[in-house]
Amino acid sequence: MKKKYGQEPKAKKRLLTTTRIIMLGFLLGALLGSFLLCMPVSLKEGVCLEYIDALFVSVSSICVTGLSTVNIGETFSLFGQVVLLLLIQTGGLGVVTFTTILLMAFHRRITLADRMLIQNAYNLDTMAGLVRLTINILKLTACIELAGAFFYSFVFVPEYGPVGLWYAVFHAVSAFCNAGIDLLGGNSFCAYRDNVLINFTTMSLIIAGGLGFPVFWEIGRILGMKIKRKSGCRKMSFHARLVIRVTAILIVTGTLLTLLFEYNNPATLGLLELPEKCMAALFQSVTLRTAGFATIDQAGFGSASSLLYLVFMFIGGSPAGTAGGVKTVTVTLLAASVISNLQGKKEVAVMNRKITDTIIRRCVAIIVFSFSVLGILTVLLLALQPYDFLDTAYEMTSAIATVGLSRGMTGNLGIAGKLIITLTMYLGRIGPISLALAFNSSKGTASVSYAEGKVIIG
């Protein structure tokens, strides 16, 4: 059949879009991990593990959440712990980055489709230097995690002997990937609440992973240029400056409010000396935005603090990193839009930069969709397994934001509860909005203009 003059050929419909590949990558990784964790070689002698628990832990690991229905250190052998470490590292780097690394390792050509996949995974504006960016991310990750393991070893090796080296490596990877999974008996870092080295090493790793790879690499590049006294552009991008500023504000705000609400609470900060109070409050502020490690039992925090933490967990870390949540930039831009509307301004501006309406609409979609998914699944969990509302909300927010903090509810979940939390962690990692876009069929992009509708609001 001949094509008519001026008629454009129909584009072939892509079955595997970026979001679908990311979804399938995490799903296949979680299923493979669950089968490996069920194997006898992955378990300590005399330990039995049901498949639902293996699936829960596998999803929690690859989604870098940290919630667990079993005691990790007492359940899994060295082989099982290695499987967990690989799942955490894969989830932290992202399936797209990990796949690209494998292609390069086997000397496979990185195609245009692969480059587009990397670009979409990191929300970049250009495809220039994407493969180099992936290599830099790998090098940066290795350097940071090795540095973290080095500092951890000063505590773990004297305490555990040669096994302490493995503990140092495992917890360095878990902290940088914002996973929060530990091998210390189920109480996270509560035993090291007063240990300055453990606290600040962990916080440094969490912040580094939560800033996002492009931002952290930009910081390293500028510092390297200053040290070597090289000429060139040393000015940070608008995105990097925004991420650093918002992250600092959230950390400081969380620390001060924790001190304010929990200063005299004997179950949390009340029995500590002032320096210990400050360090514990700072650690809580850093970890609750997606890391999952804890130096204080979360069940001890009062209602005011816990409600505040729900907001911080939902916000999460920054884009294109190991953290979860709706992201700091998303919330900041939406808040700027609200303020602009209240002031009657026609444009949204942040740090003297105009933010387009398209980006604002995306921010609204991400937050509304994420909050809707959280609300629906929370109601479902409460309907099937009625627990305390605050504990349930804490657990579900922690799951969808891939935080990993819990008020003690995880170990008491039934089968239905485990399945709901597992689904929530999965949706939280790949992003509810990505899930919606993945199944949205391609439609025409022709611009259609409609008549204006007059409505009354407020």
Mean pLDDT by 10 residues, the chain (458 residues): 49 58 84 95 93 96 92 94 94 71 63 63 59 76 94 96 96 94 89 95 93 80 71 75 94 96 95 95 93 92 95 90 86 93 90 89 88 94 91 95 92 92 92 58 57 76
Q: From the CB of residue 12, how many other CB atoms can be counted at a distance below 10 Å?
A: 6
Report the Cα 53 to chain-centroid distance in Å. 21
Look at residue 128 and tell me if it is in a domain.
Answer: yes
pLDDT at position 108: 62
Q: Specify if 456 maps to a domain.
A: no
**Residue 444 confidence (pLDDT):** 47
In a domain, 350, yes or no: yes
- Give the SS3 label for residue 264: coil
Q: Is residue 142 part of a domain?
A: yes
Q: What is the pLDDT of residue 68?
A: 93
Domain membership of residue 448 (yes or no) is no
- Check: CB of residue 271 under 8 Å from CB of residue 245: no
| 337 in a structural domain | yes
Give the total number of structural domains in the chain.
Answer: 1
Residue 375 pLDDT: 95
Q: What is the pLDDT of residue 11?
A: 45
455 assigned to some structural domain: no
User: Which residues does residue 353 pair with via DSSP β-bridges, in sequence order?
Assistant: 350
- Does an H or E element contain 355, and which? strand 353-355
Q: Decide: pTM greater than 0.85.
A: yes
Look at residue 250 and tell me if it is in a domain.
yes
Which residues partner with 354 through β-bridges?
349
Predicted local distance difference test score (pLDDT) of residue 233: 56
Domain enclosing residue 308, as ranges: 18-227+236-435
